[in-house]
Amino acid sequence: MSRVAIVTGGTRGIGAAVSIALKDAGYTVAANYGGNEERARKFTEETGIPAYKFDVSNYDACVAGVAKITEELGPVEVLVNNAGITRDGTMHRMDAGNWQAVIDTNLGSCFNMSRSVIEGMRERKFGRIVNIGSINGQAGQYGQVNYAAAKSGIHGFTKALAQEGAAQGITVNAVAPGYIDTDMVAAVPEQVLEKIIARIPVGRLGKAEEIARTVLFLVADEAGFVTGSTLSVNGGQHMY
């Protein structure tokens, strides 16, 4: 049996590594993306994984996107809420638009997507939801009140939904990556990045594949007793 998995933001960075790991493990994968057509096309060409464009910050778009994937691939049993953005700035410079965009894309998306799949998971008494949080949601970060609030919200969201799903065969967990070598981190200025790496006990950035491996563990059929957890994958940077 090949379970159907949706990975939001699944065509590049951490999401692409998760999509590929799931496919390699035998899942039927749908990779969502937001607007980068070129990367999505290249990803599908290279992996054979179909890409579905819709905006995860928009509830109606998520409902329609999930309906299309269900029609084409089958009922969704695994959801990885990975899509995310940063719009950094200190509070006194942050405009309301950048606050809202980060909340809607990083946290609102978890509601929009989970709401779109939860009824089917409850009916079939099986589901796996993994939400990608962040070390900066656990510890806070200068210049990221919007991002830290959204990611911190993901951890509460995870624990609450885990309680609702527990008796229905649905597990809900979070992964909190530390600094991972993707486009998102490439946007950090080099001198800031050097200081960040100096604070990572393992002495390097993480790899997207290392997050994918964690997700693969959490979505496995055999992981039914792991729910409401946050797995920190950060090279030892913060130990909670």
| Distance in angstroms (rounded) separating the CA atoms of residues 192 and 168 | 45
Residue 102 C-beta: closest distance to ligand NDP, Å: 9
| Distance in angstroms (rounded) separating the CA atoms of residues 164 and 33 | 28
Under rule CB under 6 A, residue 153 binds ligand NDP: no
Under rule CB under 6 A, residue 134 binds ligand NDP: yes
CA dihedral of residues 3, 17, 31, 175 (deg, nearest 10): 70
Which of 4, 6, 14, 20 contacts ligand NDP by CB under 6 A? 14
CA distances from 183 to 16, 39, 187 (A): 12, 12, 7
Stretch that binds ligand NDP, among 33-41, 68-76, 192-200, 220-228 (CB under 6 A): 33-41
> Judged by CB, which is closer to ligand NDP: 29, or 126?
29
Question: Which residue among 33, 52, 147, 179 is the active-site one?
Answer: 147
Which of 82, 114, 116, 144 contacts ligand NDP by CB under 6 A? 82
Under rule CB under 6 A, residue 184 binds ligand NDP: yes
Residue 110 C-beta: closest distance to ligand NDP, Å: 10
33 is a catalytic site residue:
no
Site for ligand NDP in 163-182 (CB under 6 A): 177, 179-180, 182
Stretch that binds ligand NDP, among 13-21, 68-76, 114-122, 158-166 (CB under 6 A): 13-21
Under rule CB under 6 A, residue 112 binds ligand NDP: no
Site residues, ligand NDP (CB under 6 A): 8-9, 11-15, 32-36, 39, 55-57, 82-85, 105-106, 132, 134, 177, 179-180, 182-185
By annotation, the residues acting in catalysis are 147
